[in-house]
Amino acid sequence: MRKSIKILSVPFAAMLVLAGCGGENDEVKNPPVKENENQAETNPETRTDNNEKLPFTFKDFQLEVDYVGTDNEYEAEYDTMGAQTEASIEDKSNKHEVHGDEAMKELTPILEKLTFTKDSIDEQVVQEVTSVFDLKDAYEEFDLEVVFDDGTKKEYKVNNK
């Protein structure tokens, strides 16, 4: 009897260890949705909204800003992949890290303030993002990748090294 308990306890302990080792989950369970003025039609075959609008003018936003020294990076990510949305914020200089719904709650009011488009001048985009995210101007590198709602991908880079 004792031998069977030992045999069963090993797989159980392994499950606990594996469950505890899972990485951060950036998945947002309740993403923000911009409501349409007119009721949208639903495609019964795919169960998707034909008039679905994204809550922002982009469907992918990946910001990385590096400052002098180690552990002085700021990263913010928002990504929609079909029906799935992911969000995360990692502010190493302030030791602040959030993922999933908590990150989306922090990012939504910030991202809603952004007004740039794919046609905006790069310097204006960098200035607007720096201002809206309340980032210090003394960065070494600024890297922003955005995929707009029409599929256009743009990258904004500044290197002050």
- Which pair of tokens denotes residue 45? 């075959």
Question: Is 22 inside any structural domain?
Answer: no
**Rounded-to-integer distance, Cα 90 and Cα 74, Å:** 6
Q: Is the pTM of this model over 0.85?
A: no
Q: How far apart are CA 153 and CA 118, in angstroms?
A: 8
Asked if residue 35 is part of any domain, the answer here is no
pLDDT top residue among 19 and 159:
159
The pLDDT score that the predictor gives to residue 147 is 96
Instruction: State residue 55's pLDDT score.
Output: 76
Instruction: Please state, in angstroms and as integers, the Cα–Cα distance from residue 15 to each residue in 2, 4, 24, following that order.
Output: 20, 17, 18
Joined together, the tokens standing for residue 79 give: 């990504």
In a domain, 25, yes or no: no
End-to-end CA distance of the chain: 67
Q: What percent of the chain has pLDDT over 90?
A: 55
The reported pLDDT for the residue numbered 54 is: 58
Any domain includes 38: no
Do the domain assignments include residue 154?
yes
Domain with 103, as residue range(s), is 52-159
Residue 76 lies in a domain: yes
Read off the pLDDT of residues 101-133 as tens digits, 9 standing for 90 and up: 999 999 999 999 999 999 999 999 999 999 999
**Which residues on adjacent β-strands are paired with residue 28?**
85
pLDDT of residue 137: 87
Burial of 30 (0-12, 13-18, 19+ CB in 10 A): exposed
The pLDDT value recorded for residue 28 is: 62
C-beta neighbour count of 93 within 10 angstroms? 13
Q: Looking at the domain assignment, is residue 28 inside a domain? A: no
pLDDT score of 5 more than 70: no
Number of domains in the chain: 1
Which of left, alpha, beta for 134 (phi over 0: left; psi -120 to 50: alpha)? left
For the stretch 18-63, pLDDT in tens is 334 444 566 766 666 554 333 333 333 333 343 445 578 899 999 9
The two structure tokens encoding residue 133: 């995210």
Cα 77 to Cα 62: distance, rounded to the nearest angstrom: 5
In a domain, 112, yes or no: yes
